[in-house]
Amino acid sequence: MFDALTDKFSEAFSGLRGKGKLTEDDIDKAMRAIRMSLLEADVNLLVVKQLTKAIKVRATGDEVMGSLTPDQQVVKIVSEELTELMGKENTRLPIASTPPTIVLMAGLQGSGKTTCTAKLAKHLYSQGRAPLMVACDVHRPAAADQLEVLGQQIAVPVYRGDGKNAVAIAQEGIAHGRETARDVIIVDTAGRLTIDEEMMGEITEIRDAIQPTSTILVVDAMTGQTAVEVAEAFSQAVDVSGVVLSKLDGDARGGAALSIRAVTDLPILFIGTGEKIEALEPFHPDRVAQRILGMGDVMSLIEKAQETVELDDAKEMEERFRGGALTLEDFMKQMQQVRKMGPLSGLLGMLPGVGKQIKDADIDEGRLDRIEAIISSMTLEERRKPDLINGSRRRRIAAGSGTSVQEINQLLSQFKQMKKVMKQMGKGGGGMPSLPGMAP
């Protein structure tokens, strides 16, 4: 996310680094670069003017001019102003005081609305809630089938009715949710390729019939200013409560994320960060600002780890690391837990200073698949005692995993070296990598 914008901002700050004192000319040059970066990122023109004006006012004041580290102060100011622009803090999904909470999903066709409906259901289910999805898209062929398939994947039921009248299905779905003690009911509606009166009329009818707790608009982050225009149109027609930015993982520019709140005053509630059903995150403006500026997003990384790994398992694994008792079985378990958190490149991009370094790196996710296949082809005894793996065993494991003996040798050599390092760190009492669930 935001790769292009991050690079441009880095270039803008490069002329400020290392200077003991900044002149107004230095600030002007940086502001011009930032302004161009934002415009190239498809950020709304009025938003660009508002943001750069606010940054310059602060950057030319005593806050920067009197600082011993003026370049760092400018970066801090830009981070704070970006955060302010996107809404200061995370806005949570409104929950009804008396169940069920009713969420009406809206958006154009192709925005990822139906998938986001399932992602939201999965997110709420993981928080201990009992969601129900209601399929009210009676215009798109197989829309209800798609939602039902997604529902089966996440163990969330779907109400689809007779598939004829969207308003009737929504009402029946709410009644069914109440009867089955569902505390959150998410209603998926029909989209269109473009905004039209018929679509808006149907959504309005559904809204009036079910009186939702909130109406959530799904917009495609990759469409830039078009996403902002869609948000404006929906907000005027159906009283939108908040926005989900889908496909943000594929948006290197960030124009929609930086513009929507300032233009429409609608909070961004969630962001879609991948194709997997788990790839939906609450939107934190401060964290996004830090990622744009190449400062990483450690808090989100820690939260991902906490959601994936049991604390007791993490403590037990750390004790095994410190004692030098790591086995290939432990290694595979740790690798599987890390992979549940998302693509490796995305996880590394959350670490401060790492994002730019890995942008052009060849991170082979297939390599992890091969490692898992190799370990899975070993016997339990071989996983626990790798020293038993002689030449004939290596050939058998290679044949069983569809890999080569050379890859087996490489894995065993790297594992032996890693185990040695872990044992040395344990003896010396050195700092073990502390991210839960991530094998050092």
pLDDT digits (tens, 9 = 90+) for 32-72: 999 998 998 888 899 999 999 999 998 888 777 767 678 88
Residue 220 shares a structural domain with residue 354: no
Q: Is residue 94 part of a domain?
A: no
Q: Is residue 291 part of a domain?
A: no
Q: Where are the alpha helices (DSSP H) in 163-310?
A: 166-179, 197-210, 225-238, 255-264, 285-292, 298-308
Residue 130 shares a structural domain with residue 274: yes
Residue 82 shares a structural domain with residue 161: no
Residue 111 shares a structural domain with residue 236: yes
Residue 63 shares a structural domain with residue 156: no
Q: How far is CA 245 from the centre of its chain?
A: 10
- CATH number for the domain spanning 214: value is 3.40.50.300
- CATH number for the domain spanning 346: value is 1.10.260.30
Q: Are 215 and 240 in contact (CB under 8 A)?
A: yes
Q: Give me the phi and psi of 244, to 5 degrees please.
A: -110, 125
Residue 127 shares a structural domain with residue 199: yes
Q: Are 182 and 131 in contact (CB under 8 A)?
A: yes
Q: Is residue 105 part of a domain?
A: yes
Q: State the sign of the Cα–Cα–Cα–Cα dihedral 178, 191, 150, 279.
A: negative
In angstroms, rounded to a whole number, what is the distance separating the alpha carbons of residues 317 and 320?
Answer: 5
Considering only residues 343 and 393, tell me which one the structure prediction assigns the higher pLDDT: 393
Looking at 283, 313, 339, the residue that finishes a domain is 283
Query: What does the pLDDT look like over 405-436, one tens digit per residue?
Result: 999 999 898 888 877 776 666 555 444 343 33
The overall average pLDDT reported for the chain is: 83
Q: Is residue 436 part of a domain?
A: no
Q: What is the dihedral of CA 281, 284, 290, 296, to 10 degrees?
A: -30
Q: Are 150 and 113 in contact (CB under 8 A)?
A: no
Amino acid 394: pLDDT: 93
What's the domain range around 378? 302-428
Considering only residues 256 and 114, tell me which one the structure prediction assigns the higher pLDDT: 114
Average confidence (pLDDT) over 164-171: 94
Q: How confident is the model at residue 345 (pLDDT cuts 50, 70, 90)?
A: low
Q: Where are the alpha helices (DSSP H) in 66-218?
A: 70-86, 113-126, 143-154, 166-179, 197-210
Q: How confident is the model at residue 157 (pLDDT cuts 50, 70, 90)?
A: very high
Q: Is residue 92 part of a domain?
A: no
On the question of pLDDT at 303 being above 90, the answer is no
Average confidence (pLDDT) over 126-153: 93
Amino acid 346: pLDDT: 61
Tell me the CA distances in angstroms from 327 to 13, 89, 399, one per residue in order: 46, 43, 22
Residue 268 shares a structural domain with residue 316: no
- Tokens for 56, please give them: 């310059």
Looking at 33, 53, 86, the residue that finishes a domain is 86
Q: Is residue 290 part of a domain?
A: no
pTM beyond 0.85: the answer is: no
- Tokens for 351, please give them: 């670490």
Residue 137 shares a structural domain with residue 249: yes
Return the percentage of the chain with pLDDT > 70, whole number: 81
Residue 112 shares a structural domain with residue 260: yes
Amino acid 249: pLDDT: 78
Q: Is residue 173 part of a domain?
A: yes
Count how many domains the chain has: 3
Looking at 24, 57, 86, the residue that finishes a domain is 86
Residue 138 shares a structural domain with residue 234: yes
Tell me the range of 73-77, 107-111, 153-157, 336-340 where mean pLDDT is highest.
153-157
Q: Is residue 308 part of a domain?
A: yes
SS3 for 101? strand
Average confidence (pLDDT) over 375-396: 91
Amino acid 436: pLDDT: 35
Residue 337 shares a structural domain with residue 393: yes
Residue 350 shares a structural domain with residue 398: yes
Q: How far is CA 276 from the centre of its chain?
A: 10
